[in-house]
Chains A and B, each alone.
Chain A
Amino acid sequence: MISLSKLLCETAAAGDGLRYGDPSDVPQITEEKQRRPVVVWNVTRGCNLACQHCYASAEAERADGELSTAEGKRLLDDLAEYGVPVVLFSGGEPLVRDDLTELVAYARERGIRPVLSTNGTLLTPDRARALRDAGLAYAGVSVDGLATANDTFRGREGAFDAAVRGIEACLDVGLKTGLRYTVTERTVDDLEGVVDLLHDVGVDRFCFYHLDYGGRGGDIVDADLNPERRREVVRRLCDLTREYHADGSPIETLLVGNYADGGFVVEYARDELGDEAAERIYAALRRNGGDPAGDRVADIDYHGNVHPTQFWQGYALGNVRDRPFGAIWEDESNPLLARLRDRELSGKCVDCCYRDICGGGSPLRSLTVHGDPLAPDPQCYLTEAERRGEPPVAVPEPTAEPGD
């Protein structure tokens, strides 16, 4: 994730320590835990919606043999012992599991920060309160447009209104809640309207996802933005973030799923904020690293399969029913896992000046389009001039001579 608000407006949030190693007054996740991946756990296949882009290919019914409550708790024990800092409960729709609150509470008890990815439609005031009391740290609610576009994209009439009610239920009980928005040609026109509406509701965190090509997301590649459109959208999000901050509303905005964003944001900063800001942002993004698949992010599905990222459900490194998560994640005898971490890039990435802050982008998109997970990300939207330019490098402060 790339925090536009942090980079462009210099505001800190709880996850920034994981991303940028930047100490601030905001309590940060400890340095020791920064070495371990954030784990997405798809606790169920079941979902009450039918989203066009669902990477998990969720269906109405839960799958046979999903990890049980007891297995889930033992998994959380494993993750805690390994030092995983954050578990993102996802699905399907995680709220279709009656034991979700119990699992959230157990994660919190074991020292893991529990967060939630949900479509929001099942977030009643009672469930929001129970999740807050269980220690849920954050609820990210997916909305992909205003009512008409969202309900079409997410496969159920009334989903938008229900999600907004769910967001309000969370905010009413004091549960930190944010928006998750996947930007495609089918959703992009409503983006600003949704931000404005939800900001009025009280939301102050907005995450914008680029489309990845996993699950049903691979069926709508034709709806993905072209490079020119993507540049317009990301530029608008940069401007929008700064406008909100300038108006006294310090919203948090993040870009997710395409690390070419890093190079674009550096170029944006150079044009709009000057060389010093561009240098600072480039340095922060270098500390963060590029695409996290197989390294800083892991996924465990409802059957216990461990994937290099939540979007890449078609390949599993192993299964936690057979072997502890840490053993699977540490096993670089698997040459694919080692390659994902080494990131020996090819093609136009080789001499790209932003390769260190991008890492070649999404290996799943590269695999889908080019048949090679380390080929250049087909969604890269940097121009050739930007790729071949010079990244900003901070000039060291002159040191004082002895006797000065």
Chain B
Amino acid sequence: MTDGPRDATEREWELFRRASVEGPLTHVGSVTAPSAPVAYEQAATLFPEAADLWLCPADETRRYASEALGARAKGDEDGTDEGGMADGDRKGTVPEPSEVDA
């Protein structure tokens, strides 16, 4: 899984768009916003033509990626990582949205 923090200042929202009601829902990135209504407002500005927009809190999303960076970062397994934080460190320290400066 690739569920590290996605933003440190405000909450991150994964954004899904449907171009028409008959079409598929596709991921079109993410927006940073303190709340779902604000995130929707931003998303609607960026994708004004969308029929549907769905928002999912990034920290509530479980990602099972075939090309995840962590799985490809060999150094994480052999203890050579000295400058950043290992996966184990960061999973327990995901900031709650209410604790993050806006």
Contacts and interface: CB of A to CB of B under 8 A. Distances in A.
Contacts of A313: 32
Interface string A86-104: 0000000000011110110
A229 interface: no
A305 B76 CA distance: 20
Contacts of A103: 83
A175 interface: no
Contact of B47 (A64, A69, A335): A335
A102 B80 CA distance: 11
Contacts of B56: none
A281 to B, nearest CB: 34
Contacts, number: 142
B81 A68 contact: yes
> What class of interface size applies to chain B in its complex with A?
35 or more
Interface string A265-306: 000000000000000000000000000000000000011110
> What class of interface size applies to chain A in its complex with B?
35 or more
B49 interface: yes
Nearest to B45: A371
Interface string A61-74: 00111111111111
A322 interface: yes
Interface in B60-88: 63, 65, 67-70, 72-76, 80-86
A98 B46 contact: no
A45 B95 CA distance: 14
B45 A321 contact: no
Contact of B69 (A69, A320, A334): A320
A58 to B, nearest CB: 10
A318 interface: yes
A367 B83 contact: no
28 contacts: A64-B85, A64-B90, A64-B95, A65-B4, A65-B5, A65-B85, A65-B90, A67-B84, A68-B76, A70-B74, A70-B80, A72-B83, A74-B69, A74-B74, A97-B84, A98-B82, A99-B83, A316-B6, A316-B30, A316-B32, A317-B29, A318-B27, A321-B65, A333-B26, A334-B28, A335-B17, A336-B47, A373-B46
Given A316-B12, A316-B30, 12 more contacts: A63-B8, A70-B84, A71-B69, A75-B69, A78-B69, A99-B84, A103-B83, A315-B46, A318-B30, A319-B6, A319-B30, A322-B63
